[in-house]
A and B are shown apart, each in its own frame.
Chain A
Amino acid sequence: MDIKNVLAITLLKVAVNRTSPKALRERLGEEWQAHLDALPDGLPKLSAAAGFFWSTFRQENEKIRLVFLIHCEAIFLLFFMCSLKKIAYLPTMSACGIVVGVLGTLMIYWAPIATIKNLEYIDDEISYLGNGRKLSHEAIYCIGFFVVLGAIQAYSYSYLFSQGLVHNALGLPPALAIGLVCIAFACPPSGMYVLAKMERRQFSRWHKKLEGLRDSQEEARYAEIRRIITLTGSVAVCLGLIAQLPTTLF
């Protein structure tokens, strides 16, 4: 059998297993198989199967989760670099705070002037994310990757430290220093887990609330979405201010 066809069938199976909701799996599995059967062997089949795989991301709107995870990862890496004194801590915090604060302010200003199309888009996104509180596979893989990476880094760093190859700038007892290093390397995955869980919880709440408004007037639904945007903006402004606080104090 042609390798391209084998790959196409494998991609199709993965795509079907990734399909959400589960009720759609059987239907799309058969439908996509029929689609592949109608195409000539080789590249056309493979490219169609790659498309099915890609479409599972679109169905679940997982791009949002991925963007969220990338942001989490970037923030944690930033703090991690700060903890290793690769970047000056306070100016970085301040810069992050200003960016987050400006974004939050923009959201608050945008909320009342957002078009119905924008609000529908947000409504759709919340509906797609749904009620489930389970983390997506992408989130789990991402966290898992950082757990493994953190363990390797913590082991290597501790080994170098115990051999005296890393300078003990704070003059801490070796056991405490190694413990702190392990905690520092455990921060990114645990922080990502907490943030991803918080995100799921929040989306679940919003979804339930909007579901409750499903049968009522459309305007009430849009008012709730505007409230969600304003609330998110306000939280961003507060976080931004808190992040800027250390530079103000010292």
Chain B
Amino acid sequence: MGDRRQPRLTLASLRVLRAFLENPQQHLAGVDIQKLSGVATGTLYPIVLRFESLGWLDSKWEDIDPKEAGRPRRRFYWLTADGFARANEALSHLGREVPAWT
């Protein structure tokens, strides 16, 4: 079970959550989250790390060999079931339509 502590939900963190909720089954890299949420990198990574430490997000490295691919691996993030429920709860307070967990 994830950490039940409620993080500070700033506008930027809500935008990050919304980006995940709109793509609940997708694994998103940092650059994708930035494009979808419009949050600057300086704010984005502390938020993502924080949600991950609270168990709202999970992450894994891209399954490639950096030498073969000629670029560094990306790290993908996705919402956990607990994170999905908590994010929905947080955004529903703001009157957002709640998507279903499939």
Is B one of A's binding partners?
yes
Q: Which residues of A contact B73 (CB under 8 A)?
A: 30, 34
Nearest CB in chain B to that of A48: its residue: B41
Expressed in whole angstroms, the minimum distance between the Cβ of B81 and any Cβ of chain A is 23
A117 to B6, CA, bound (A): 8
Residue-wise, chain A 28-63 has the 8 Å CB interface mask toward B (1 for contact) of 101111110111000000011011111100110000
Most chain A CB neighbours (cut-off 10 Å) among B29, B41, B44: B41
Known contacts A35-B30, A38-B31; decide if A28 and B45 are in contact (CB<8 Å).
yes
A236 to B66, CA, bound (A): 55
B74 touches A55 (CB 8 A): no
A51 touches B42 (CB 8 A): yes
Kindly state the interface size class of chain A when it binds its partner.
20 to 34
Residue-wise, chain B 9-53 has the 8 Å CB interface mask toward A (1 for contact) of 000000000000000000001110010000011111110010000
Q: A120 within 8 Å of B by Cβ? A: yes
Q: B99 within 8 Å of A by Cβ? A: no
Q: Which residues of A contact B29 (CB under 8 A)?
A: 34-35, 38
Kindly state the interface size class of chain B when it binds its partner.
20 to 34
Q: Which residues of B contact A52 (CB under 8 A)?
A: 41-42, 45
A55 touches B46 (CB 8 A): yes
A33 touches B43 (CB 8 A): no
The answer, among A39, A47, A50, A121, for a CB contact under 8 Å with B31, is: A39
A39 to B43, CA, bound (A): 17
Q: B75 within 8 Å of A by Cβ? A: yes
Expressed in whole angstroms, the minimum distance between the Cβ of B1 and any Cβ of chain A is 14
Expressed in whole angstroms, the minimum distance between the Cβ of B59 and any Cβ of chain A is 9
Q: B2 within 8 Å of A by Cβ? A: no
A33 to B31, CA, bound (A): 11
B41 touches A33 (CB 8 A): no
Q: When A and B form their complex, which 3 residue pairs have the shortest distance between CB atoms, in order from nearest?
A: A51-B41, A51-B42, A54-B42
Q: A residues bordering B, Cβ < 8 Å?
A: 24, 27-28, 30-35, 37-39, 47-48, 50-55, 58-59, 117, 120-121, 124
What would be 22 A-B contacts, judged by CB atoms less than 8 Å apart?
Answer: A24-B49, A28-B45, A30-B66, A30-B72, A31-B30, A31-B45, A34-B30, A34-B31, A34-B72, A35-B30, A38-B31, A39-B31, A47-B41, A54-B42, A55-B41, A55-B46, A58-B42, A58-B43, A59-B45, A59-B46, A120-B5, A120-B8
